[in-house]
A and B are shown apart, each in its own frame.
Chain A
Amino acid sequence: EDQVTQSPEALRLQEGESSSLNCSYTVSGLRGLFWYRQDPGKGPEFLFTLYSAGEEKEKERLKATLTKKESFLHITAPKPEDSATYLCAVQFLETSGSRLTFGEGTQLTVNP
């Protein structure tokens, strides 16, 4: 069964302290990998889509990268407003085109 694993489960950073979140997946063929941000009590907000190994996307303090087995979400000089749960989701080649398999998320807290 295709699986998506995110680590760490929770991460506390000081404002300005850069770090990375990890999303790894069983290697059964990737159609696309998606990163979302979710604030408490709200729906996931789309951040990035990555389709092939070596691809990178950036948005403000966030940068997403993709290898054949995992993706990283790099957060540079985070601010308290970056505190949220970050979700990774994968479209596997062997499943129907639109099905997403989600990880459990990384809860990020950035202290001022």
Chain B
Amino acid sequence: ETGVTQTPRHLVMGMTNKKSLKCEQHLGHNAMYWYKQSAKKPLELMFVYNFKEQTENNSVPSRFSPECPNSSHLFLHLHTLQPEDSALYLCASSQAADTQYFGPGTRLTVL
């Protein structure tokens, strides 16, 4: 499945580092999402973008900064993260409010 791609697939960073996650969708969708998946917890919605405009921020700490330059690309900029931010970060896309299709995720470890 290559409809939604994410890079890198794995990332290890220190608490003082700055890194970025990238997501690209090849499905022609107009909405993109960032989710966080921690062990033993349901997927948590972080941000929603519709036509490049942010429409939802689910009370995410400012150390996570999203960017959506166009409807096909989505970034998540990370800085001064905490160990509890270690998780699988998933990107998804959809056409309006229809079915969301997910990428493979980025496994993030914060040391």
Q: With A and B bound together, what is the CA distance between A12 and B65 in angstroms?
A: 41
Would A100 and B45 be within 8 Å (CB), given that A43-B90, A45-B1 are in contact?
yes
* Residues A31-76 near B (CB distance < 8 A): 31, 34, 36, 41-46, 49
Counted as pairs of residues, one from A and one from B, with CB atoms less than 8 Å apart, the total is 59
Q: List, in ascending order, chain A residues with CB within 8 A of B40's CB.
A: 104
Query: Is A43 in contact with B103, judged by CB distance below 8 angstroms?
Result: yes
* Residues A88-105 near B (CB distance < 8 A): 89, 91, 96-105
Instruction: Render B54-65 as a binary contact track against A, CB cut-off 8 A, 1 for contact.
Output: 011000000000
Would A34 and B99 be within 8 Å (CB), given that A43-B90, A96-B55 are in contact?
yes
Query: Is B101 in contact with A46, judged by CB distance below 8 angstroms?
Result: yes
Minimum C-beta distance from B17 to chain A (A): 23
Would A45 and B102 be within 8 Å (CB), given that A98-B50, A99-B48 are in contact?
yes
Q: List, in ascending order, chain A residues with CB within 8 A of B103's CB.
A: 43
Number of interface residues of A (CB under 8 A): 24
Q: With A and B bound together, what is the CA distance between A104 and B38 in angstroms?
A: 11
A30 within 8 A of B: no
B52 within 8 A of A: no
Of the candidates A43, A89, A105, the one whose C-beta lies within 8 Å of that of B105 is A43
A21 within 8 A of B: no
Q: With A and B bound together, what is the CA distance between A34 and B101 in angstroms?
A: 11
B31 within 8 A of A: yes
Of the candidates B33, B45, B50, B105, the one whose C-beta lies within 8 Å of that of A42 is B105
B111 within 8 A of A: no
Minimum C-beta distance from B45 to chain A (A): 6
Closest Cβ neighbor of A100 among chain B residues: B100
Minimum C-beta distance from A29 to chain B (A): 14
Give A residues with C-beta under 8 Å from B: 4, 31, 34, 36, 41-46, 49, 87, 89, 91, 96-105
Give B residues with C-beta under 8 Å from A: 1, 4, 6, 31, 33, 40-43, 45, 48, 50, 55-56, 88, 90, 92, 94, 96-97, 99-105, 107
